[in-house]
Amino acid sequence: MKLVARKLAVLAALAAFTAGLSGYFMARLQVARSAEALRASQISDLKFEIPAASPDAAHAPLAPVYAALRSREHQPNHGWRSSLATLPPAPAFTPDTPPLSPAELAQLLGTREARRAYAGAPPTVPHPIDQVHSASCLACHGQPTRIGTRDVPQMSHAPYSQCIQCHAPSVGPGGGAFAPVSVTNSFAGLPPAARGTRAHPDAPPTIPHGTHLRQNCLSCHGPGGSSAIKTTHPHQTSCLQCHATDAARETHPPVLRTTS
């Protein structure tokens, strides 16, 4: 008798587990689907349809008590589940992409220079930051992303663990509201590199800057990047296959050792 009861119990547990498991995956699927639908609806044309009032009172959402409104789940965007990583990248450049107008180009380069003390300096961060965690930097900068109309550049180097070691926010804590920044300093940084050279008109241009900490060419020269020079062939990802670097700029010429 006891044995049968135990077997039954095991069976029941198994059944419950299976049901639970499938339920879990179904729920996951539903969440994923509904999130996808939500994204699609927002990205496509930002139109929302107001559902018709349901005659069935059981379907009406339960109104929260006022005290609960302060809690987390009633804050704006609490239900927002989409990952930044799945936002669409900026459109890729192709030979058909129209070149930037002089004004657009000037603006692009002006913004780029304003964020760098000199060519090769780690750019400053043009927005307030999470003061502690690098993971929040990677959420957006781990991949090329477009948020609204703003292109978010991907990091130009493999992720180190501590972004704020090198990248200073350009606005202080509290959005720089505590004190106006007035610094008179006549440091004049090295301007952005000129163009590389070409051996002949069809030759791939050489790279006129060092590639240390700039191993990811697409960060600047790809979609969403800040350089005026965009690749016309983003599907080719082995850039250094054709574009030669300048040994004088690359780290250091090898040291000649005199010991045998």
Partner 1 sequence: MQRRDFLRSTALAAATAVVARRLGAALPEGLPAYATSPSATVTADGVRWDKAPCRFCGTGCHVRVGVKDGRVVAIQGDPEAEVNKGLLCMKGYHVGGILYGKDRLTTPQLRRNGRLEPITWEEAIEIMARRVMKNPAGFAIYGSGQWTIPEGYAAQKLMKAGLANNHIDPNARLCMASAVTAYLSVYGVDEPAGCYDDLDVADVVILWGNNPAEMHPVLWSRIIDRRTRGEKVMIIDLGTRRTRSTAYADHYLEFRPQSDLAIANGIAHLLLANGTWDRDFVSKHCNFRTDTSPVTLNGQASTFEAYRESLAPYTPERVAEISGVPTEKIRFLGELFGNPKLRITSLWCMGMNQHTRGTAVNRLVHGIHLLSGHWGRPGDAPTSLTGQPSACGTAREVGTLCHALPGGLLVANAEHRAECEELWNLPAGRINPKPGYHTMLLWEKFCTPTDKGGDIHTVFVQVTNPGQTLPDLHRTFNGKAGLEDKFLIVSDVYPTATTALADLVLPAAMWVEKNGIYGNSERRTQQWFKQVEPPGQARPDAWITLALARRLFEFGHPGMRDRDGKFLFQFRDAAGREVPAWDFAHYYDINTDRALYEEYRRFTYHKHKHVAPYDELVKSRGLRWPVVEQADGSYQETRFRFMEFSDPFVKKGAGIQFYHSVTKDNRALIWFCPYEPATEEPDKDYPFWLCTGRVIEHWHSGTMTMRIPQLRGSMPNAYVELHPEDARALGLANGDMATLETRRGRLDLPVWLDGRGQPPRGSVFVPFFDQNLLINNITLGDVCPISKEPDYKKCAVRVLRRTSATVVAT
55 touches partner 1 (CB under 8 A): no
Query: Distance (Å, rounded) from C-alpha 83 to C-alpha 89?
Result: 13
- Smallest separation, CB 164 to partner 1 (Å): 7
CB-wise, 99 or 180, nearer to partner 1?
180
Token readout for 238 is 């082995």
- Smallest separation, CB 219 to partner 1 (Å): 17
Instruction: Please state whether 26 falls in left (phi above 0), alpha (psi between -120 and 50) or beta.
Output: alpha
By CB under 8 A, what part of segment 135-164 binds partner 1? 158-162, 164
Q: How far is CA 103 from the centre of its chain?
A: 26
Stretch that binds partner 1, among 27-35, 56-64, 145-153, 245-253 (CB under 8 A): 245-253
201 touches partner 1 (CB under 8 A): no
Query: Does residue 165 sit in helix, strand or coil?
Result: helix
From the number of C-beta atoms within 10 Å of its C-beta (0-12, 13-18, 19+), residue 222 rates as: buried
24 touches partner 1 (CB under 8 A): no
The residues pairing with 152 across neighbouring beta strands, listed in sequence order, are: 145
122 touches partner 1 (CB under 8 A): yes
10 touches partner 1 (CB under 8 A): no
- Smallest separation, CB 194 to partner 1 (Å): 7
70 touches partner 1 (CB under 8 A): no
- Smallest separation, CB 188 to partner 1 (Å): 7
Closest to 209 measured CA to CA, from 121, 122, 119: 119
CB-wise, 76 or 254, nearer to partner 1?
254
Stretch that binds partner 1, among 34-42, 46-54, 145-153, 177-185 (CB under 8 A): 177-185
Please count the residues of this chain forming the interface with partner 1, following the rule CB under 8 A.
Answer: 58
Stretch that binds partner 1, among 83-91, 148-156, 167-175, 230-238 (CB under 8 A): 167-175
Give the per-residue contact string, 98-117, with partner 1 (x = CB under 8 A; - = no).
-------------------x
DSSP structural state of residue 169 = B
Q: How far is CA 125 from the centre of its chain?
A: 13
Token readout for 112 is 């780029």
Query: Does residue 121 sit in helix, strand or coil?
Result: coil
Instruction: Please state whether 43 falls in left (phi above 0), alpha (psi between -120 and 50) or beta.
Output: alpha
DSSP for 40-76, please give it.
HHHHHT---PPPPPPS-GGGSPPPPPGGGGGSGGGST
* Site of interaction with partner 1 (CB under 8 A): 117-122, 124, 131-133, 158-162, 164-174, 176-190, 193-194, 210, 212-213, 246, 248-249, 251-253, 255-260
